[in-house]
Structure 1
Amino acid sequence: MDAERYDRTRPRYPDALIHRIVGDGSPPAVLDVGCGTGIAARQLRAAGCSVLGVEPDGRMAELARRLGVETEVATVEEWDPAGRRFDAVVAGQAWHWVDPVAGAAKAARVLRPGGRLVAFWNVHEPPAPVADAFATAYREAAPDSPLAARATTTATTTATATEDAYRLILGKAADGIRRAGGFTEPEEWRLAWECTYTRDAWLDQLPTQGALTRLPAEAQSHVLAAVGRAVDAMGGSFTMRYVTVAVAAERRGEA
């Protein structure tokens, strides 16, 4: 993964989400699980929080550090908190890589009573011409890949159906929180927003997405060219609909 491209192109998170995490009191101390290059961490720092990142990929962690986020290299399951406590534990676009029970148990261990665990994801719905071009070109470039069928399905889904695809992820996260114990009943958050992309900006982001990272360079170029033509036909830019979905739970007070 190209860490600098990832940081440059990946979408940020809506201000409403950051405000909901921070709340109206004193800005919290936050542990950012799977912080990547520090996208969410920097948004939280801008809101006044102190943030420590934990990231298993050393390349991502190094860039996060260069961009001002204190980051330790580890999986959260094996990370040693060394007695540190936090007011919030967050995970942006990362909790599906974490063991849902072990991760929630570690969060419970480091959260102060009343602190929140919040795992969240950006769900995007490209306009039909862009999604269709991607799916068709992906099938042509990698007809035997199981991801080709997924790309076709994704291209034909509505925003609601795309969100539904995340319900399995949200459900696993919520179940892990329940099984770990020490938390209130998990709740789901949903925040809709939009972002406009130029052709070049979208083609810059696409190689950071899972389906394309697994393609050889020639096949990847075929997909990017097809998507580029579709965006050109739309006037060179388009508006992406996003929904940020989250599962959140509060750490119960000490017995």
Structure 2
Amino acid sequence: MPTSSRDQPRPSGNEPHQARRVAESFGADAERYDRTRPHYPDALVERIVAASPGRDVVDVADVVDVLDILDVGCGTGIEARQFQAAGCRVLGVEPDPRMARFARRRGTDVEVATFEDWDPAGREFDAVVAGTAWHWVDPVAGAAKAARVLRPGGLLAPFHHVFQYPPEILDVLGAAYRQAAPDMPVNLDPLRQALDAYQALFTKIADGIRRSGGFGEPEQWRFDWERTYTRDQWLDQLPTHGGLTLLPPDGLAAVLASIGTAIDAMGGSLTMSYATVAVVASRTGAVGSQGEFAVR
């Protein structure tokens, strides 16, 4: 999608976390969002769980290792449910009450707030995660807050899907946007070299973690995978992308019609190549006299 979408945050020179109209637009059709958005690789979930400290909880005669996960910008709870399935206890923080209501109906505890304004009320966690959402968080303030709520050794692990359109779709997509929304700034260039464009985002996340003063050196984990969509499956997902959530119905219909025609010309399906990349750091800093982590 264009760089204004949830999936393709602007790669440089902008502050997506200040674009609250886009950040809080995804709940317009929460059911579609949850139905169509891809899940995260199981290997990513497993690696975060394995790298988090956990704590021993005595339950009758058994001692079990229970991970407390804070999911920032949890949306409809897609990744939250994956961590729950892995045996974790998950609390979501989500600014859009429509998304939060959906996530609660699917079994995730959610509190409505931006992460910067959220009150942890003394609670601590083994990992703070964010699934394709950390670009809506101030990179320094968000990392500093994560450090304050993490147990020693706890993991901060925001991760993003990076996807690459088939080249034959990109020109059609650009033309459709220009026709449907001539006043909407659209830059499709990052999609032609998606990972290179996203590296600016990953660098910004890592720099924010470093500046927070509460973590060891960040590292990147990358998981490559593919998914083939039928025409109808991809057109069902497209309206959940940020650039399209703001279009009027007639403009949205025009974009979908153009993309549908292009997919038909490709045989009725398209294969998206994904790289899911996490920027990961362990909490090591010391709390200062005011209960704050120093920001350098």
2:238 paired with 1:199: no
Q: Which has the higher helix share?
A: 1
Where do residues 4-19 of structure 1 align in structure 2 (5 Å cutoff)?
A: 4-19=31-46
| Aligned residue number for residue 86 of structure 1 | 125
| Aligned residue number for residue 279 of structure 2 | 247
Distance 1:128-1:181 versus aligned 2 partners, 3 A rule: same
2:180 paired with 1:134: no
8 Å CA contact 2:190–2:197 kept in 1: the answer is no
| Aligned residue number for residue 20 of structure 2 | none
Overall identity of the aligned pairs, in %? 65
Q: Secondary structure at the match of 1:78?
A: coil
Structure 1 segments of 4+ aligned residues over 3 angstroms from their partners: 24-27
| Aligned residue number for residue 97 of structure 1 | 136
Q: Secondary structure at the match of 1:184?
A: coil
Q: Secondary structure at the match of 2:175?
A: helix
Which AA in structure 2 matches 1:225? Answer: A
8 Å CA contact 2:69–2:125 kept in 1: the answer is yes
The TM-score with structure 2 as length reference comes to 0.80
Q: Secondary structure at the match of 2:179?
A: helix
2:140 paired with 1:119: no
Q: Secondary structure at the match of 2:123?
A: coil
Output one character per residue of 1:114-145: Cα deviation in whole Å (capped at 9) or x when no partner: 11000111011111222222122112222332
Q: Secondary structure at the match of 2:232?
A: helix
CA distance in 2, matches of 1:3, 1:142: 23
8 Å CA contact 1:194–1:240 kept in 2: the answer is yes
8 Å CA contact 1:27–1:47 kept in 2: the answer is no
Q: 2:106 aligns with which of 64, 67, 73?
A: 67
CA distance in 2, matches of 1:202, 1:225: 12
Deviation of 1:230 (Å): 1.2
| Aligned residue number for residue 188 of structure 1 | 220
CA distance in 2, matches of 1:65, 1:242: 28
| Aligned residue number for residue 52 of structure 1 | 91
Aligned length: 248
Q: 1:165 aligns with which of 175, 197, 210?
A: 197
8 Å CA contact 2:124–2:149 kept in 1: the answer is yes
CA distance in 1, matches of 2:270, 2:210: 40
Structural RMSD (CA) = 1.6
8 Å CA contact 1:34–1:56 kept in 2: the answer is yes
8 Å CA contact 2:71–2:92 kept in 1: the answer is yes
Unpaired runs of at least 5, structure 2: 1-27, 55-64, 288-296
8 Å CA contact 1:34–1:91 kept in 2: the answer is yes
| Aligned residue number for residue 17 of structure 2 | none
CA distance in 2, matches of 1:144, 1:107: 38
CA distance in 1, matches of 2:182, 2:111: 40
| Aligned residue number for residue 42 of structure 1 | 81
Which AA in structure 2 matches 1:48? Answer: G
CA distance in 2, matches of 1:47, 1:169: 28
Moved more, 194-203 or 129-138: 129-138
Moved more, 214-223 or 45-54: 214-223
CA distance in 1, matches of 2:172, 2:127: 41
The TM-score with structure 1 as length reference comes to 0.92
CA distance in 1, matches of 2:216, 2:161: 24
Q: Secondary structure at the match of 2:183?
A: coil
Unpaired runs of at least 5, structure 1: none
CA distance in 1, matches of 2:122, 2:181: 49
